[in-house]
């Protein structure tokens, strides 16, 4: 990505102060979704970066990971697999519970969504602390699939999610990075 591309994406990402709690600046990616040029730039950048990595499936995390993961999978000519909150997937699932700042949450994946032959690219809109993608990594590896790459539209490196994923041997790429929360 060029500096011009990064600047363009930042120009359509809306900063929402004090959301969801006071002191947080929420980075709202819906500006990318309603700007065809920005949305296409995201998908094209991800595709170009990973098209030679042997990816056989794209996994998107609920819910904004679906918005980028599904069109990326289509552009790459591979399948898309959703990782969802409990009770949202209709067939047998694997579950992974993970820690939040205040409590726990759980993610699920269909038991038959991936095989040991799959090479997976994880996609989400934003990387903060990395808990969601760490749990997703564990789900993917539990079924024997390979996952060594995760891509995000936005990264917040100050919250240490990048480091958390690097400790799992997952290469991280964020198109746009912001300091702070």
Q: Is residue 45 reached through a cis peptide bond, with omega within 30 degrees of 0 on the bond before it? A: no
Mean pLDDT over the full length of the chain = 95
What pLDDT was estimated at residue 180?
66
Concatenate the DSSP letters of all residues of 10-27 into one string.
HHHSEEEET-SSTT-EEE
Q: Are strands 79-83 and 57-61 parallel, antiparallel or unpaired?
A: parallel
C-alpha–C-alpha distance, residues 155 and 170, integer Å: 15
Q: Choose among 175, 138, 172: nearest CA to 27.
A: 175
Domain boundaries, the chain: 53-177
User: So which residues are the catalytic ones?
Assistant: 64, 101
- The token pair at 110 is 């269909």
- Predicted pLDDT of residue 103: 78
Q: What is the pLDDT of residues 81-106, one digit of tens each?
A: 999 999 999 999 999 999 876 679 99
Distance CA(169)–CA(95), nearest Å, equals 21
Separation of alpha carbons 1 and 57, rounded Å: 23
Give tens-digit pLDDT for 1-33: 899 999 999 999 999 999 989 988 999 999 999
Q: Check residue 169 and give left, alpha or beta (phi > 0: left; psi -120 to 50: alpha).
A: left
Give the neighbor-by-neighbor strand order of the sheet with 119-127: 79-83, 57-61, 119-127, 146-155, 171-177
Any idea which fold 53-177 has?
Rossmann fold (3.40.50)
Res 101: pLDDT: 65
């Amino acid at each position: 990505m060029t500096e011009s591309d990064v600047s363009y994406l930042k120009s359509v990402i809306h900063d929402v102060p004090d959301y969801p709690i006071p002191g947080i600046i929420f980075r709202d990616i819906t500006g990318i979704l309603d700007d065809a040029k920005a949305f296409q730039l995201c998908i094209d950048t991800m595709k170009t970066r990973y098209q030679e990595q042997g990816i056989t499936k794209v996994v998107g995390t609920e819910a904004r990971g679906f918005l980028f993961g599904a069109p990326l999978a289509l552009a790459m000519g591979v399948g898309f697999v959703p990782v969802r909150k409990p009770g949202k997937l209709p067939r047998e699932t694997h579950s992974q519970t993970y820690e939040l700042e205040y409590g726990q949450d759980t993610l699920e994946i269909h038991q038959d969504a991936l095989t040991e032959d799959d090479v997976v690219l994880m996609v989400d809109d934003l990387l903060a602390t990395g808990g969601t993608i760490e749990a997703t990594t564990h789900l993917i590896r539990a079924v024997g699939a390979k996952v060594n790459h995760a891509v995000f539209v936005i990264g917040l490196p100050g919250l240490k999610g990048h480091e958390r994923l690097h400790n799992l041997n997952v290469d991280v790429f964020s198109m746009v990075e912001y300091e702070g929360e």
